[in-house]
Amino acid sequence: MLRLSAAPYLGVRAVGQEQIRPDQGGLLLSNHQSFLDPVVLGLPLDRSITFLARDSLFRVPLFGRYLKAMKTLPIARNAPATAVMRDALAALERGELVGLFPEGTRTADGSLGDLKPGFVTLARRGKTPIYPVGIAGAFECLPRSRRIPLPSPGRVCVVFGEPIPTEEIAAAGGAAGIVSLVTERIAAAHALAVSWRETGEEPGGVDAIGSKG
């Protein structure tokens, strides 16, 4: 249903999703543009994504209902995240995709903010590839400043970057090294998505799931 409605309305285009292996789990780490991000990340994939999100988002009208329907794991800001991390690691071990927005909050201007190190535990212990993702255009459809969370039609580009294998994650060293590595890869994917949206030049191997335009 979302493919038939949301994809054309938001003008979603995606490239690189064929790199996600269908036979194993993976950690999807993306920049955070708007409440639409879980939707536009899931639209190009034939697999479901278990997202981690702040518990306060579950109180947002309609969006909170969507999160519950997608079996999103709530993270309480003032409570230990041990149980959530355990559930997320279990999902990875079962071969599922786990999605997280490591900036921790939506961008105020469309740019990529600093990544929080909360994802490092999953990166280290998950023993699965990290898939860096860049989103451009979701901010314009539904910016953080909009009081009523109703999206405008737009053109959203999603770039799934080259996977980061477990060996490269281990070689990055401590938490700071892993954060730096992932920041670099998400920034590269985001830059490609921005360029694609602005110029119309596809990064290559595009899979258009909405109408052209």
With 0.85 as the threshold, say if the pTM is over it: yes
Strand order from edge to edge, sheet including 156-160: 73-75, 49-54, 97-100, 26-30, 130-136, 156-160, 12-15, 206-208
What architecture is the 2-208 domain classified under in CATH? 3-Layer(aba) Sandwich (3.40)
> pLDDT digits over 8-54, tens only?
999 999 999 999 999 899 999 999 999 899 999 999 999 999 998 77
Q: How far apart are CA 103 and CA 55, in angstroms?
A: 16
Q: Name the CA dihedral angle for 109, 153, 186, 184, rounded to a multiple of 10 degrees.
A: -40
Nearest Cα to 159, choosing from 184, 188, 179?
Answer: 188
Please say if the pLDDT value at position 187 is more than 80.
yes
Task: Band the pLDDT of 204: cuts 50, 70, 90.
Answer: confident
Enumerate the domain spans of the chain. Answer: 2-208
> pLDDT digits over 96-148, tens only?
999 999 998 999 999 999 999 999 999 999 999 999 999 999 999 999 999 88
